[in-house]
Copies of this chain bind each other. A is one copy, B any other.
Amino acid sequence: MEIFYAHEISAREVFLDTDESAHCVRVLRHRTGDEITVVDGLGTMMRCRVTDDSPKGVSAEILESFPGWGGHPYSLTMAVCPTKNNDRFEWFVEKATEVGVDRIVPVIGERSERRVFKPERSRKIALSAMKQSLKACLPSVEEPIPVKDFISFPYAEIKLICYCFEGDTERRSIEDVLREVPEGSDITVMIGPEGDFSPQEAQLAVENGFIPVHLGPSRLRTETAAVTAATAVYLHFMK
């Protein structure tokens, strides 16, 4: 099953951009009259019939709409420090999108080696992962912000910080904490850089209501920790 992303939608019609149109017409050889599956990136899937098969701009008539298609019973924000190696962060973006994430915030920590991050490539990866995994909702990949600024925003109901807190006995496992999290919750998970958060950042997070959690005995790379946390949330809500 192949799905297309429509950047522009009217009451009755969808319009594909040049990339999607070329893929639809040149690669998949769809023609006027064909039925195609289109998503709006906001959660709705539409069965459509192609009305203009121009490879520069396909338009299609909406036959039927399915809101909340391929959605998940929670809202998840992953605030992750970009990795030294960009591929590793982009890999996280792809995998988190496949299992289910709503918002990806690249956060720059005091110990981040990568202090510059351009979201453009990650947004493309999220888009193709959304289509590949048959979801209608496109996760946002935001502009990078400092960890401390992110911490001080008032937002999610459940805020978790994965931090080593060497020697701290207060830390619970993410599994243990998730057991108390009901369906429909708005969850944020923050993952530090290779060198971990600074003690000040961790302290500030806890003061701002972040629950310190661990991801078990394994020492995980930044991107592995991020995908493991997103997967833990995904699995927790699995029937």
B91 adjacent to A217 (CB under 8 Å): no
CA distance A156 to B134 in the complex (A): 33
Q: Which size bracket describes the interface of A in this complex?
A: 20 to 34
B133, B227, B232, B239: which contacts A218 (Cβ < 8 A)?
Answer: B133
CA distance A232 to B99 in the complex (A): 12
Given A224-B95, A227-B95, A227-B227, answer yes or no on A218-B100 (Cβ-Cβ < 8 Å): yes
Copies in the complex: 2
Those of A185-234 within 8 Å (CB) of chain B: 215-221, 224, 227-228, 231-232, 234
Those of A39-81 within 8 Å (CB) of chain B: 70, 72
B173 adjacent to A70 (CB under 8 Å): no
Is there a chain B Cβ closer than 8 Å to A98's Cβ?
Answer: yes
User: From A214, which residue of chain B is reached at the shortest CB distance?
Assistant: B238
A216 adjacent to B232 (CB under 8 Å): no
Is there a chain B Cβ closer than 8 Å to A135's Cβ?
Answer: yes
B132, B218, B238: which contacts A216 (Cβ < 8 A)?
Answer: B238
CA distance A220 to B175 in the complex (A): 22
